[in-house]
Amino acid sequence: MFKSRDWSEFVITRIIKLTGYSTIIFVVLIFFFLLNEGFPTFIEVPFASLISDRWYPIEGYYGILPLLIGSLVVTVGATTIAIPVGLCTAIFISEISPRWLRDILKPAVEILGGIPSVVLGFLGIIVLSPYLRVLLNLPTGLSAFTGAVLLAAMSLPTIVSIADDALDAVPRSYRNASLALGATDWQTIWNVTVPAARSGILTAFMLGIGRTIGETMTVMMVTGNAPVLFKGFLSFLYPVRTMTATIAAEMGEVATGSIHYHILFFIGIILFLFSLVINITASAVVFRQHKKVEKILS
């Protein structure tokens, strides 16, 4: 009787260990699969063509520069809106608002995070795009700006909730010490609390950016999908084409194994690497924060 329990215990423990390591297996699997299907691009497409400024695959133009720039423009725009607004909202929720208001605001922001991207894209087409076209007198409302506004709305909940947690984690003693020295609450927030929480806040920003780069449906529906290069600040109000929208729009049509197929996987590799870099940086920042806090509290 003792023996059989040992045996089943042994098997179960091994299985559990396997599931734990399976996460690594999945990441590696995804990366190698993308690499396998995307690598032929280097052989099939001359490098000069790859970094050219024209994306028109059916005629052999495989320049991914407009797509990279498109993703970049929309991401920069969205983060420019989302970071200040998100940080201020997080500060408001964490430092200023009374308890009852906080209990309303936090769930409200979570709800925004739950709204599917296709619903926001739908509202973008029907409501936001025509409105912006009329308001700003643009040729068309399908632009990088429209995309940026909606993407800011999508990454806001991530930024707010993580920044709020970071601000919450700052020890009360910091604030009390500052107030004891005669600073106002306002001065305390900006000179003491926020700097103390800065790695957590930075993490919030990075994860928000990560969310924005990877967004697909919303940008596909409202950014106009024109593969152009950035021609100055005003280009922001004109259509662009992102990497994610390109994959989503063109993937269905490619014949397996064609050059177009390979280059779409190649774009997928680029997206994967972007998110990898952002996430590793963000988590490295968090690890350092934990170690620092442990040192201070010990």
Partner 1 sequence: MFKVNLSTPQSRLTIQKIGYLSLTLIAILTVVPIIAIVVHIFIQGFSAISWEFLTGFPKDGMRAGGIFPAIVGTFYLTLGTAIFSIPISIGAAVYLSEYASENRWTQIIRIAIINLAGIPSVVYGLFGLGLFVIFLQFGTSILAGCLTLSIMTLPIFISTAEEAMRSVPQSFRVVSISLGASQWQTIRRIVLPQAQPGILTGVILGLERAVGETAPILFTAAAFFLPQLPNSAFDATMALPYHLFVISTQVPGMPVNLQYGTALVLLLFILGMNILATLVRSHARKQRQW
Partner 2 sequence: MQKFILAGFVFLIWMNGGCINSSGRNDQDISSSTDKYIENKGSDTIVNLALAWAEEYQKSNQDTRVSVTGGGSGTGIAALINGTVDIANASRRMKSEEYENAEANGIEPHEFIIAKDAIAVIVNHANPIDKLTLEQISDIYSGKIRNWSVLGGEDLPIVLLSRETNSGTHVYFLEEVLRLGDKNNPTLFSRDTLLLPSSEGISSEIRLNPNAIGYDGLGYVTPDLKVIAIAKDPGAAYILPTPETVIGNTYPIARDLYMYTNGAPSGAVEEYINWIFTPDAQNIVSELGFIPIVNP
Among 51, 53, 61, 116, binds partner 1 (CB under 8 A): 116
- Partner interacting with residue 238 (select from partner 2, partner 1, none; CB below 5-8 Å by kind): partner 2
Structure tokens at 22: 């399976």
- Partner interacting with residue 228 (select from partner 1, partner 2, none; CB below 5-8 Å by kind): partner 2
Which of these segments, 103-111, 189-197, 220-228, 272-280, binds partner 2 (CB under 8 A)? 220-228
For residue 32, the minimal CB distance to partner 2 (Å) is 22
Type of residue numbered 67: L
Among 165, 168, 214, 259, binds partner 1 (CB under 8 A): 214
Query: DSSP states of 141-184 as a string?
Result: S-SHHHHHHHHHHHHHHHHHHHHHHHHHHS-HHHHHHHHHTT--
Q: How far apart are CA 261 and CA 251, in angstroms?
A: 7
Q: Which is nearer to partner 1, 46 or 283 (CB)?
A: 283
For residue 48, the minimal CB distance to partner 1 (Å) is 26
Residue 37: strand pairing partners: none
Asked whether position 226 contacts partner 2 by CB under 8 A, the answer is yes
Q: Which is nearer to partner 1, 197 or 264 (CB)?
A: 264
Q: How far apart are CA 53 and CA 62, in angstroms?
A: 8
Asked whether position 106 contacts partner 2 by CB under 8 A, the answer is no
Produce one character per residue of 18-44: b if its CB has 16 or more CB atoms within 10 Å, e if not.
eeeeeeeeeeeeeeeebeebbebbeee
Backbone angles phi, psi at 257, to 5 degrees: 90, -5
For residue 229, the minimal CB distance to partner 2 (Å) is 8
Among 12, 51, 118, 249, binds partner 2 (CB under 8 A): 249
